[in-house]
Structure 1
């Protein structure tokens, strides 16, 4: 334009052009794009805060079993990426990373919010102090006599075991944890779509010598940190949900009722019926891809509850050596639930591996008291695994119902007999 207006000049206007200050279009565009990214991310943080403040962890709809907040954060991320590429200029790869990094910070804040659901420790019962068994308790003898004469059953059993059609005991709080888990997996699935949009846009100018160097390799993700955070959060939420289900929702029929007063009248069958119903409900709520992890954590929590019944069941539980076959059969049936649940989602090898610790303790219960005392003396200064852990053997002895165990515990540890709970 300047040259056209300078046709009368001898040099055709070249001198005037050389005197002009260059207008750095690229620098201006870069500045404006960075400003656009910062403003958009600021809006995203404000939107995320408003969304999370009203989250109730109910499914968005029947066909969308994740939280409303998860849908909102993904909607914002997708719109930000689409609007970024709608700007009618080519963009450098460094700018793409600026946008992706900002979105990732936003996503990780949301993932932290989803995973803020407590810990499994809050659902574990307090371990009772170690005392000797109370096989001569007058209360226990009266209870057994009444049970034999009139068929007394635990009231919790009657409440939960309604004939052959027990209702699942999964509370609303646990179901909300399942929605948190679904929300995390929804994020993981949608990140793939956003990643694809960022990677395949024809407007991106490669910057091999940019500040990110060769960070983006073929097959890698702009959201690697978010993906890792989702995996960790999913593990945590699954664990908390499982321990809440087993130790709180199912307490009355599992840890609170199994083997109370004696083994033969308080077997595991009622607990297994409830457990199967709870697993059916879990599979109906939790999305397919999240089910294997959720079921594995339920299995681990169930095995831990069973172990606590045997080793830390309180004053209402005592065991005879003759109880071992029933206890062994019950645990085998508990394992079968997880080998067949969720249409075979649990691999049998995984079940067996997780069951090893409990099976070691069950095996200890088949040994004679004299053998247990001998083993305890040998390993008292060692700790090489749960079965040979002196604390484990000591707990088996404390719950062993025979005079030899009581004599050893009184002579060696001066442990008093526990009082039967009413």
Structure 2
């Protein structure tokens, strides 16, 4: 019926045009153009009036309702009128769509200008307006195709740029929310007691709280139906990454530097038998631990159990990052996949459905792994140089090797390892035990090379030292239940050259040191400092005379001031 009406109208126009030459100058397409413009404007005014009347009883913002009604109007235009009018105007649907885009845009403009925050109105209007614009684009694309849509948009439309405006307000929300997340994360870490949640959950409650806070924030972020760009997602992920790094830094905050744990090296002296006891007294005076009271108190509070819970919490943090990344990536992909094609036409370039979210938290991963390594190292150093300082660093091999062997230390280490394995998660066990092995080897080398005036060694002691090193090695391998043999062998190998030097006669060591100091190479692959230290701990007059003459090494430590 509509076809007949339009046909009659066009024939009437032509008949009248015979009496009005000016009318005939305008082709049928222009007349249809005017019909469409007039009817669309009239229809839009009616729905706008209807929406305003209904506004008092509706919970939805006027512009959100108007967007929905405009979309319905366009569907009627494209499904009923445009197929008929396209006989005279091939782009009738394009004309209707572009006109409705402009009419709604005139209403939307003032609202966009004053939208600064992610209010309820913004959350209501932005998705509706964006959906309308996307639908308008799809209608136009159905007529001219995606290739023709680009030029058509440039000619006929002024984009609402809702995605850009929305991105600004979303970013403002993200920044504000991330500040709160940081505050909550700090509070959770500062209130942590570092006791395990349960025998099954050996991490602290703070990291669970941190994940709860972050996941709730992510839920809020994705619950917003407003348009977003990849930039907003990246900003959100960077903020979350920073929050995990802040947590990691707070976990390791009490972990002091190695220098605060390891006692100062005694002043290097040459051996002189009658000064041994006097030098030992001076050594005790010189080796006062240079740690202030606050740091000392913090170190004491870092028990094995609490250190393990800190490590477990860090492991929990890094082990759950993958799940968080997957969740964010999947939700973003789902959100964006249905919009990419139209957005390409609106902006002249593709936005991409989703960037690679699998590396968004690499900063956290790097920070957490470094923190785990640091705490593992600290744990080993604390056991050897702090908890066991007296039996290991101060007394082992004192006066002679036979009087204080390593086997007594191993018995204590066995208790330490038992306590450690009761708390630490299986995935971190080897890393912590490796730290303890490294510290034990550091302590052994320290005693041999920098043990002070009360440590003296002769070639006859070398087999005993080798035997002790073997005991230490097998203890950490523990018949296959401990560290991998290859790992232990590799770490122990750095001590063997030192013991090999102890095995050498004094004259051989002197000749080797003379060669090295003159620019040559050591036949033992050693350096001048190590060779000198071995000679200073050699209990014979030849070594003492040589280091006194050529290196001015005193026979005892100078008095402390």
Shorter chain as normaliser: what TM range? Answer: 0.7 to 0.9
- 1:3 and 2:133 matched: no
Tell me how far apart the structure 2 counterparts of residues 416 and 358 of structure 1 sit (CA, whole Å).
27
Match for residue 278 of structure 1 among 390, 404, 416: 416
On the 8 A contact 2:166/2:228 being kept in 1, the answer is: no
TM score, norm. by length of structure 2: 0.62
TM score, norm. by length of structure 1: 0.81
Tell me how far apart the structure 1 counterparts of residues 300 and 479 of structure 2 sit (CA, whole Å).
20
Match for residue 458 of structure 2 among 320, 323, 331: 320
- The residue aligned with 2:18 is none
Count residues in correspondence. Answer: 386
Tell me how far apart the structure 2 counterparts of residues 47 and 269 of structure 1 sit (CA, whole Å).
48
On the 8 A contact 2:197/2:203 being kept in 1, the answer is: yes
- The residue aligned with 2:468 is 330
Tell me how far apart the structure 2 counterparts of residues 46 and 188 of structure 1 sit (CA, whole Å).
20
Deviation at 1:47, TM superposition (A): 1.3
Pairwise mapping of residues 33-52 of structure 1 onto structure 2 (< 5 A)? 33-52=170-189
- The residue aligned with 1:242 is 380
Q: Give the CA RMSD over aligned residues.
A: 3.3
Tell me how far apart the structure 1 counterparts of residues 179 and 382 of structure 2 sit (CA, whole Å).
37
Tell me how far apart the structure 2 counterparts of residues 122 and 310 of structure 1 sit (CA, whole Å).
21
Tell me how far apart the structure 1 counterparts of residues 460 and 537 of structure 2 sit (CA, whole Å).
13
Tell me how far apart the structure 1 counterparts of residues 490 and 444 of structure 2 sit (CA, whole Å).
16
Deviation at 1:91, TM superposition (A): 5.0
Residues 1:274 and 1:2: Cα distance change in structure 2 (over 3 Å): farther
Deviations 1:49-99 (A, max 9, x none): 322332333333333222232222111111112233334567544433232
Tell me how far apart the structure 1 counterparts of residues 370 and 277 of structure 2 sit (CA, whole Å).
48
- The residue aligned with 2:235 is 98
Tell me how far apart the structure 2 counterparts of residues 364 and 18 of structure 1 sit (CA, whole Å).
89
Deviations 1:360-416 (A, max 9, x none): 000000000010100010112459799511110111111011122122223323433
Deviation at 1:278, TM superposition (A): 1.0
On the 8 A contact 1:382/1:390 being kept in 2, the answer is: no
Where 1:203 maps in the other structure, the secondary structure is helix
Pairwise mapping of residues 56-71 of structure 1 onto structure 2 (< 5 A)? 56-71=193-208
Residues 1:128 and 1:382: Cα distance change in structure 2 (over 3 Å): farther
> Which deviates further from its counterpart, 334-343 or 382-391?
382-391
Deviation at 1:37, TM superposition (A): 2.4
Deviations 1:223-245 (A, max 9, x none): 11111111111111211121111
- 1:397 and 2:397 matched: no
Match for residue 370 of structure 1 among 482, 493, 507: 507
Residues 1:16 and 1:325: Cα distance change in structure 2 (over 3 Å): closer
Match for residue 78 of structure 1 among 192, 215, 226: 215
> Which deviates further from its counterpart, 264-273 or 68-77?
68-77
- The residue aligned with 1:198 is 328
When Rg is computed on C-alpha atoms for both structures, the one with the higher figure is 2
Structure having the higher helix fraction is 2
Deviations 1:20-44 (A, max 9, x none): 5053633265455334423321221
